[in-house]
Structure 1
Amino acid sequence: MTEFDAPSSPVPGGELGDIASYHEDDGQGFQLLQDANIRRFAAYWDGLRGVRWAPARKEVDPLAIPWALPHVFIGDYEADSGQFRYRVAGREIEAVFERYRGSSSLKGAALSDILPAEQAAVVARRWGPLATRGAIVYMRGWVYYSAGRAARGERILLPLSDDGTAVSGFLGYTQCRWSSMAEIAEAPHVDIWRLSSGRPEPTL
């Protein structure tokens, strides 16, 4: 596997920096997904897009995925500013960030609104291939870490395109279990892949 364009060394000023290793998937695509719910969610998105490289946001129907809703997040990518901005998130996702936002809703929040600046910059770079290449981003390992606790699991970010040519947003799902910071200190790591979509990627 080869690295794609993302930082693999600590970010200056970050509490833990970027603990990730970055990979291409060598054509394995969704075969890399381990969690059954992550695979089911990816299959839902794949069904929506059909022969296209990504579906439109309006095609995502919450009534079709009631089992997934607590772990789902949907948002916009603002090309002019490079911002990822949440539209809606399930209760399990909102609970993680409530301490930073001071609100139970992530609606309208950018990454910089819900994370310290250094961590927001790391997350934006991790999500970058979705915005710049229309890629699927898949993470496995420590998917959350903050003061006092951390969570190990999987996350997938899937592109959305309202016009069929440019990335307009993202559809995500996180499945994890919580642990202590002591455990993450023993093995602080997350693997991140840019997955093959099985379709020609858009020219962005």
Structure 2
Amino acid sequence: MIDVIAAAQIQDARLLALATHWQDALEDSGTPPSFEQLQPRLGPDLLNIHWLVEEQGHPRRFRYLSIGEHVKVAYGGSIVGRYLDELVKRSAQPRVMGYFDTAISRPAVVHIAGRVYAEATRPASGERLLLPIADEKTGRVSRILGATTHSWVSPNNPSGPVPIRQVRTYIPLDGTDSWSETSL
């Protein structure tokens, strides 16, 4: 069984709690849990930083199903019903879609630390976690439960220093070696 907690080196206590809940559910079933399985374990602190996307169509697109209040700050309001490719600048889409695609298709847990919302006018400092999630009805991995912590007090208004890079760590569920990459 993979040890997401050790491999990801998560710093934020809320993200660590989310990873723990997800890993516990994974160990119970052997497959990624559904959001419905995890939701009762998620308290207000986790729901505040969460976001849930579902893959749709060919070519693959990711539509937001729910988001927490902390994530709304980053976008200046709700993005539920919108698609990731509508929200991310075209120049950043290969990078961002790449880690979303890996989370679903491999599947793999993706942990991002350092610079978040890198394509914004004024990026933030933070961490992001992407967890592959199974559809409750089909069992197919077609969703990502994510969580993002950021230093914005309002959109494009970060507090404190913002790192110049982000480190993305990928932890495949099949037990193969994890890897990291740095960019920006």
Q: Give the TM interval when normalised to the shorter protein.
A: 0.7 to 0.9
Separation in 1, partners of 2:93, 2:166? 16
Separation in 2, partners of 1:169, 1:28? 21
Aligned length: 165
1:148-190 deviations in Å (ceiling 9; x for gaps): x2211211100111233x3210101112224769954xx5211
2:146 maps to 172
Contact 2:110–2:169 (8 Å) recurs in 1: yes
Contiguous gaps of at least 5 residues in structure 2: 177-184
2:18 is equivalent to residue 41 of structure 1: yes
Larger Rg: 1
Q: How far does residue 137 in structure 1 lie from its aligned partner after superposition?
A: 0.6
Relative to 1, partners in 2 of residues 1:62 and 1:142: Cα closer, same or farther, differing over 3 Å?
farther
Separation in 2, partners of 1:82, 1:156? 20
1:195 maps to 171
Contact 2:70–2:149 (8 Å) recurs in 1: no
Contact 1:28–1:196 (8 Å) recurs in 2: no
Corresponding residue SS for 1:68 = helix
Q: How far does residue 115 in structure 1 lie from its aligned partner after superposition?
A: 2.3
Relative to 1, partners in 2 of residues 1:28 and 1:72: Cα closer, same or farther, differing over 3 Å?
same
Runs of 4 or more consecutive aligned structure 1 residues displaced over 6 Å after TM superposition: none
In the alignment, which of 78, 81, 88 is matched to residue 105 of structure 1?
78
- Which structure 2 residues correspond to residues 96-135 of structure 1 after superposition, within 5 A? 96-98=74-76, 104-135=77-108
Q: Which has the higher contact order (CA 8 A, sep 6+)?
A: 1
Q: How far does residue 81 in structure 1 lie from its aligned partner after superposition?
A: 2.5
Relative to 1, partners in 2 of residues 1:180 and 1:57: Cα closer, same or farther, differing over 3 Å?
closer
Separation in 2, partners of 1:65, 1:182? 27
In the alignment, which of 66, 72, 90 is matched to residue 68 of structure 2?
90
Separation in 2, partners of 1:192, 1:70? 22
Question: What TM-score results when the alignment is normalised by the length of structure 1?
Answer: 0.70
1:72-126 deviations in Å (ceiling 9; x for gaps): 001101253211111010111122123xxxxx22111111222222223321112
Separation in 2, partners of 1:94, 1:55? 25
